[in-house]
Each structure stands twice: as C-alpha cells, then as structure tokens.
Amino acid sequence: MSIRNPQNDRSRKQQTEGLPGMTRKGASRAKPVREAGGSVRVVKANATGGGKPAAQMTKEEKKELKRRERDARDRQVVVSNILLKQSPEYRKYRRFWWVLLGAGLVLTAVAWLCMFVFPGASSDVTEPLGMASVVALVLAYVCIIGAFIFDWVKVRPYRKRADTEVAGMTDKRMQQVIDKDYEEEAAARAAKEEAKKGKRSSK
C-alpha cells in the first residue's frame, strides 16, 4: 500500500495553480511584439538563399547569390564611371595622366630600339646614340613613375569621391543615372548623324 505524501501533493498543486496569493499572468500583461523599425532590414524567407548562411545554401542558391552580387558591383562601377565622366576636372587630369604614361612608353620603346639597332650604343654613353639611349630611358622612367604619382595624388581622390557617392545611392537612383546617361548619349549620336546628313546634302 502506497503512502501519500501531503507535501508532494501540495507541490504539484502549487506548480499547476501557482503559489497562494499570486495570480496567473493574463494576456494583457504579456509583452507586445514590436515591429521592426524602418532602418532595420528584414530578410524574407523567399529571398535569394532564404536568408540562410552560405553553409546551408544549395549550389544553385550560391550561384544566384554570386550573380546578384556581381551585377550589383557592375552597376556601381558603371554609375561611378558616369559620374567621373561628368566631371571636367577629372577628364582634364585623366588626359594629362595618359599623356605622361604614353610619353613614358614611347621613350622606353625609343631607348630599346637604339639598343637593338646599335648594340654598342648602350655600352658607350660618350657616343651620341649611347647618350640618347640613356637619356630616353631615364626620361621614360621619370614619365611612368610621375604618371603613377599623379594618378595617386590628383586622379584617385575623384574616384574615391565618386565611389562614396554611389555607395549612398539606392538602386532606383543608380538606374536613373544610367538611364539619363543613355538618353544623353543617344541624343548626341542622333545630333551627330543629323550633322553628317546636313554635310552630305550640302555637297
């Protein structure tokens, strides 16, 4: 015959009904679920990869995610180039950079040409061809190194500024920039074609 322990019965009753003098929490005392703020990005379950970490994605989901990331980067590069193209200062500095780099390449070619055509020119700097070869090579290094320094000091800040501006744009704003640039180029091509037709008709 089992002996009932009154303490065990009382403990079970307190667990199921609560302690004496206390009431159960009603639905009105439960904490309300707050909605996510406007700045909080909520990842939807039907998004690419379903909001899952990369380790849980399938091969197709990873491929689609990489494609979307690549498209987003390409769009940012396109918009950044459009903004740079619209800057007169950037275009001026960029042309000067190309002049320096082109001069350096031309002088390098001249120096190597002198060495190949006249093998003894590089060994005897007292000769006119030897001196010309050395001078051309030195000037080539000066132009090429100067082009890199000029790019770092003058051109690079414009690129960083454009990248920062693009990073703060929405997809809609970037698409507007692309569409506007396309319309301007189409109008320029149409005007050019009209000018060609006018010249032909005048002849």
CA distances in angstroms from 89 to 94, 157, 180, listed in the order given: 8, 11, 21
Domain-located, residue 109: yes
Domain-located, residue 169: no
Domain-located, residue 130: yes
Owning domain of residue 140: 87-157
Provide, rounded to the nearest whole percent, the portion of the chain with pLDDT above 70: 68
List of long-range contacts for 85-93, beta carbons under 8 Å, 24+ apart: 85/181, 87/158, 87/162, 89/158, 90/155, 90/158, 93/150, 93/154, 93/155, 93/158
Q: In which band, very low, low, confident or very high, does the pLDDT at 122 lie, cut at 50, 70 and 90?
A: low
Global confidence as pTM: 0.59
- pLDDT at 201 (0 to 100): 72
- pLDDT at 194 (0 to 100): 82
Whether the predicted pLDDT of 190 surpasses 80: yes
Our separate counts of H helices and E strands in the chain read 6, 0
CB atoms within 10 A of CB 35: 8
Give the whole-angstrom CA distance, residue 66 versus residue 72. 10
Domain-located, residue 173: no
Domain-located, residue 163: no
Domain-located, residue 128: yes
Find the range with the poorest average confidence among 7-16, 26-35, 78-87, 90-99.
26-35
Give the whole-angstrom CA distance, residue 165 versus residue 105. 34
Domain-located, residue 196: no
Count the domains in the chain.
Answer: 1
Q: In which band, very low, low, confident or very high, does the pLDDT at 38 lie, cut at 50, 70 and 90?
A: very low
User: Higher-confidence residue: 40 or 202?
Assistant: 202
CA distances in angstroms from 47 to 38, 42, 53, 72, listed in the order given: 19, 10, 12, 16
Domain-located, residue 81: no
